[in-house]
Amino acid sequence: MHQGGRILLWILAAALVAPAARADISDVAVKAAFLPRFARYVTWPPSARTNGPMVICIIGDDPFGDLLRQEAASQEVDGRPFVIRRLSSTSGASDCAIAFVDGSRTGELLDGLGRQPILTVTDARSNPHRGIIHFAIVDGRVRFFIDNAQAQARGLTISSRLLALAIGVNGK
């Protein structure tokens, strides 16, 4: 692994174990920091690749406000900058690389995405329905579960480095 990769992995691991109760960082801010970083550890199928920006969609409720835009503004993956889109439904979600799906309609919205090659992310605080990555607060820290079987069914490959940071993995 090259030096830059080790540094990024260390930053991601440090963010995972940072207490959500820290005065300067809320759990929402930690989750906003994770979303663009997840893209570094996921490989999309060739059919999903474009030369344009990497699109992160917020579908349903938006807990982030401006935090996600701020986090994503300084990052890129494979030379691709991030763009944040907010959607009320799955209509128009086909260009999303990552979709944070939240709110009372989470199950319906996840179903609406079908088997598209989109990294779906959900949050246990607002709904029990699970995307490929599912945030949870464990011992006061933001942690996540990964459904690797669901990722593979969508044609996504999740790096073993990210799988190792999850507190649970379905379908290794």
Tens digit of pLDDT for each residue in 61-109?
999 999 999 999 989 998 999 999 999 999 989 999 999 999 889 999 9
Q: What is the pLDDT of residue 108?
A: 93
Number of independent structural domains in the chain: 1
Q: What is the pLDDT of residue 47?
A: 81
Q: What is the pLDDT of residue 4?
A: 47
Q: Are 18 and 31 in contact (CB under 8 A)?
A: no
One digit per residue, pLDDT tens: the chain, 172 residues? 444 454 444 445 545 444 433 434 699 999 999 999 999 999 999 887 667 899 999 999 999 999 999 999 989 998 999 999 999 999 989 999 999 999 889 999 999 999 999 999 999 887 788 999 999 999 989 999 999 999 999 999 999 999 999 999 998 6
We report the CATH number of the domain holding residue 58 as 3.40.50.2300
Q: What is the pLDDT of residue 126?
A: 75
Q: What is the pLDDT of residue 103?
A: 87
Closest C-alpha to 57, from 26, 92, 30? 92
Which pair of tokens denotes residue 4?
């830059």
Closest C-alpha to 143, from 12, 40, 55, 7? 12
User: What is the 3-state composition of the chain as percent helix, strand, coil, each rounded to the nearest 5?
Assistant: 35, 30, 35
DSSP-derived letter for residue 122 is: E
Domain of residue 77, residue span = 3-170
Q: What is the pLDDT of residue 151?
A: 97
Q: What is the pLDDT of residue 125?
A: 80
